[in-house]
A and B are shown apart, each in its own frame.
Chain A
């Protein structure tokens, strides 16, 4: 069982940053470039390896660092209540 972005969130990329609105909680989240790539990977249902590859394509980062960033950021998203379990 993995995780995916929670339903009922609105988001849009502007000027390289991703803005996420959690209307139910009336909260606005702002994600930087690498975080936006991870977010967009999760919205497309991609796994860690695929997201890490996308990160390496956009940023100068090695695979190990990319995977660590994905795990850390995913934990942050979960803590913020922006993820749900995917079956």
Chain B
């Protein structure tokens, strides 16, 4: 079924929801009550009525998650995002587009991750597989691949009451007016929280290492750069986007040399070292 034909079948009642995620505004409209309901339930904490930004019409469609990895293409104006269960065509100049998705939370989540990760790289930031904590009003990031300890660290921090968790899986960083900020993320891992909107000045970055004893040590720039690149979320396969990702990450590392946090999974005492 083509996207345009699916849109033409729309019934009369149109639902709308405005969201602001990572500093980007989205106005979604859909004739599918199911999709609006999922958006409200899943991203309601990021809701902003009448938010200006991208106007995206969402059409309900069927599909499988195969292929699982989204394909992203951009010709300088039109952005296309495609996976087995979603397809989006967005005119970045008029900031409008049509999205065809399976009416599931997982599908909408995958679509939004693909879209926002692309927009972030183009605007000087990126999404990072990491745990994110707020300490004394600043955000601290702990990048790591699967198994590095992101969820363990986040659960310990949440359980202690001493460190607000931004996300245990994917955090959002942006360079704004020469300063790096971390944005609240609706994209979570094991903790399955719905996220907290807002943004915080980036306080520091720590690579993770599980240990019996807590401690912090310096980390070489090349190693922190390598880790950040491996944890950076980018579904695009074009060299231009990769070059932007390399540049954005280099800019971050030049301002925030990472440390290494060795932490014990027994207690949240490691939080005292984060500053």
Task: Please judge, given known A-B contacts A19-B225, A19-B226, A28-B230, whether A12 and B246 are in contact too, CB under 8 Å.
Answer: yes
Closest A-B pairs by Cβ, 4 of them? A10-B242, A15-B221, A10-B243, A15-B222
If over half of B's interface residues share one DSSP class (helix, strand or loop), that class is named, otherwise mixed; here it is helix
CA distance A7 to B243 in the complex (A): 13
A35 proximal to B (CB < 8 A): no
User: Interface residues, chain B, CB within 8 Å of chain A?
Assistant: 220-222, 225-226, 229-230, 234, 236-243, 245-247, 250, 253
A42 proximal to B (CB < 8 A): no
B236 cross-chain contacts in A, Cβ below 8 A: 23
Q: Return B247 CB to nearest CB of chain A, in Å.
A: 7
18 pairs across A/B with beta carbons < 8 Å? A7-B239, A8-B239, A10-B242, A10-B245, A11-B246, A14-B221, A14-B253, A15-B222, A15-B225, A17-B222, A19-B226, A19-B229, A19-B246, A23-B236, A24-B237, A28-B226, A28-B229, A30-B226
Which residue of chain B has its CB nearest to the CB of A21?
Answer: B242
CA distance A86 to B229 in the complex (A): 30
Task: Please judge, given known A-B contacts A21-B229, A21-B245, A21-B246, whether A16 and B239 are in contact too, CB under 8 Å.
Answer: no
A49 proximal to B (CB < 8 A): no
With contacts defined as CB atoms under 8 Å apart, how many contacts are there between chain A and chain B in the complex? 50
Q: Return B222 CB to nearest CB of chain A, in Å.
A: 4
Number of interface residues of A (CB under 8 A): 17
A1-41 CB mask vs B (1 if < 8 Å, else 0) is 00000011111101111010101101010100000000000
CA distance A26 to B68 in the complex (A): 15
CA distance A30 to B241 in the complex (A): 18
